[in-house]
Structure 1
Amino acid sequence: MTGTLQMSEQVLSIVTLICLIGIAVSVLLLLYRIIVGPTNPDRATALDALGINLMAIAAIMAIRLVTTKLNDVILLIGILLFIGTLAIAKYIEKGVIIDRDDD
């Protein structure tokens, strides 16, 4: 039984390491798209995807560290990502984030 447990821990360690490497490559490609992106919607999409990758990194680190304390961090990143995406979408659509009524 202990042999199976040790083997599953090794497999989990290898798989999470491969996932972290894949996410790191994805983050580098997204940073390139954010900097070079031809249009603002492309940059906004890349920023949104970068936030999702940050959530994935926090989740994989929680698995590697065998803790549930990073769940709050994942939720916080998700909430801030949603608010940021709405603000960027409104700015791209109207040119301003906060509408002022100057009547």
Structure 2
Amino acid sequence: MTDVFTLGAAIVVAISAAGFYRIVAGRTVYDRLLAVGAVGTNAIVLLALTGFIFERPEAFVDLALAYALLNFIAAVAAGKYLEAHPAEDA
């Protein structure tokens, strides 16, 4: 069963690579902000899968929830900042 979770983790890491590319090569600030949110979501899933791989989901799910809260707060803060200071399209 661990092999399934390991395969899932590898797929999530591969999907995150596309997000990292969009962070670096995004055309606008909004593209980059969305990519950061997507990579953060992938990190949450990766933390949960790591918990199942090591057969300690209770510890890693707590970490994933804490990271999800941080990801949400960062998205709200970035949205508030961009609302007050509109970004120029690059």
Percent of pairs identical after alignment? 26
Offset at 1:95? 1.1
Contact residue 59 and residue 74 of structure 1 kept, 8 A: yes
Unaligned ranges ≥5, structure 2: none
Larger Rg: 1
Q: Select the residue among 3, 10, 13 that pairs with 1:24.
A: 13
Q: Select the residue among 62, 78, 82 that pairs with 1:72.
A: 62
Offset at 1:43? 0.6
Render the CA deviation track for 1:60-103: whole Å, top value 9, x for unaligned.
Answer: 0111111111122111101100100001111222218xxxxxxx
**Matched ranges for 1:35-54 at <5 A:** 35-54=24-43
For these two proteins, the number of residue pairs brought into alignment is 85
TM-score, normalised via structure 1 length: 0.77
The DSSP-based 3-state class of the residue aligned with 1:69 is helix
- RMSD, matched Cα: 1.3
What is the aligned partner in structure 1 of residue 45 from structure 2?
A: 56
Unaligned ranges ≥5, structure 1: 1-11, 97-103
> Structure 1 segments of 4 or more deviating over 3 A?
none
Contact residue 34 and residue 46 of structure 1 kept, 8 A: yes
The DSSP-based 3-state class of the residue aligned with 2:59 is coil
Render the CA deviation track for 1:18-48: whole Å, top value 9, x for unaligned.
Answer: 1111111111110100011001111111000
TM-score, normalised via structure 2 length: 0.87
